[in-house]
Structures are given as C-alpha cells and as structure tokens.
Amino acid sequence: MAEATRYADEIIDDGFPWYAIRLFTTRQGEVKSYFEEQGFECFIPMQYIEAEGHDGRTHRALRPVVNNLIFVKQSDEETTFRRVVQQADYKISVLRKAKDSREYSLIPHRQMYEFRLMCNPEVTMRKFLSIEQAQLKAGEEVYVKFGPFKGLSGRLVRSSKKYYLLKEVPGLGIMLKVSRWCCVPIEKKE
C-alpha cells in the first residue's frame, strides 16, 4: 500500500488540460523524451505483466498499457505545441474534437488527474478498454464517497458480476473495481 500512496503523492492537479497523441511508430519512449526535452510533461499508462527473463524464469515487468498513445500536458500556448508537433521527427497525430476539425481535443485537468490516479500500476483490480468498448458500457455517473478511491468520479458499470468505476479519456478507458455501496449518484454528492 506504500507504493500506491507514493504513486498518488506524485500526481498533482495543477489546472492544465492534456492532449492525447496517437503514435505511428514503435519508439514510444523516444517520443516521450522528445516532448519532455521541449518542456512538456508526459504520461504513459503503465501496468505490470509477467514476462519471461533470459534465464527462463518469469518476473514482473512494468510495460505501457498501449504502445501507440501518449498524453502531453498543455503547459504552454497551443501555437507552441503545434510547432513542436510539426517539428517532430516521428509520425504522430494529436487527437481532434472531430474528424473534420483542426481543433485539438483537450482533456480537462480534473478528468486527467482522476485518470492518472486510476492508472496506478500497483492497483490490481482494473481493466483497460478501447474507447469503443468503453462507450458500449452502460452505467450511471457516480462519485466515490467512501473507501480507498474516495473523491473519484466516473460511470458505475458492471462486468463479470463485479462493479467497476469507468473513466474515459480520448483514446482509452479504464475500469477500477469498486464496491457499489461506496458510490453515490453525482447529484447526491453532498
């Protein structure tokens, strides 16, 4: 539990929205380094997987959830960000509000803050979904009032006879196991 607390302490909500960037390269780490060198904070959702080592034994390894998605904080003017994207030596695409729009889709700071908290690799009862799968899930908008995830909000959905808190951001969805008794509808948040 100390790892989970340390992870949560590193994530702050400073009021800046985020961009979601789709990559058309396998060099996710290099793209992240490029944006960080340009002064932008980046986030890649990670998870532990069982991997086989050179000695044939399995061990836990921290790997990206998806290899073609990276989130970048809008800490500078959009014109600066557009210039950095255009000058990149990598084939990338910033997710847009609509297919025919030139306007970038911005993820609100609170939504991204909660999403990053839910992506804690130490939490075991979670599932990642494509955005299409997430949109198919029916559920009520809730606020977690009690328990270790107190303060988070999302849709309360059911999967495999268990309840999950679903949070969606452009390009990815995450479901975190919660007790439905800890959740209240958004309008009854007080």
Instruction: Tell me the percentage of the chain whose pLDDT exceeds 70.
Output: 94
Instruction: Give CA–CA dist 64/62, Å, rounded.
Output: 7
Please, what sign has the CA dihedral across residues 12, 16, 22, 26? negative
In the three-class reduction of DSSP (H, G, I as helix; E, B as strand; rest coil), residue 174 is classed as: strand
Residue 44 — pLDDT band, cuts 50, 70, 90?
very high
Among the listed ranges 3-12, 55-64, 90-99, which one has the minimum average pLDDT value?
Answer: 3-12
State the chain's mean pLDDT as an integer: 87
Instruction: Give CA–CA dist 102/92, Å, rounded.
Output: 15
* Confidence at residue 130, expressed as pLDDT on a 0 to 100 scale: 87
Instruction: Give CA–CA dist 44/116, Å, rounded.
Output: 9
* Confidence at residue 100, expressed as pLDDT on a 0 to 100 scale: 82
For the cut 80, the answer to whether the pLDDT of residue 5 exceeds it is no
* Confidence at residue 72, expressed as pLDDT on a 0 to 100 scale: 94
Q: Are the beta carbons of 155 and 139 closer than 8 angstroms? A: yes
For the cut 90, the answer to whether the pLDDT of residue 15 exceeds it is no
Which comes out higher in pLDDT, residue 22 or 54?
22
* Confidence at residue 141, expressed as pLDDT on a 0 to 100 scale: 93
Please, what sign has the CA dihedral across residues 180, 181, 183, 185? positive
Instruction: Give CA–CA dist 90/174, Å, rounded.
Output: 27
The per-residue pLDDT for range 132-168, each reduced to its tens digit, is 888 888 889 999 998 888 989 999 999 889 999 999 9
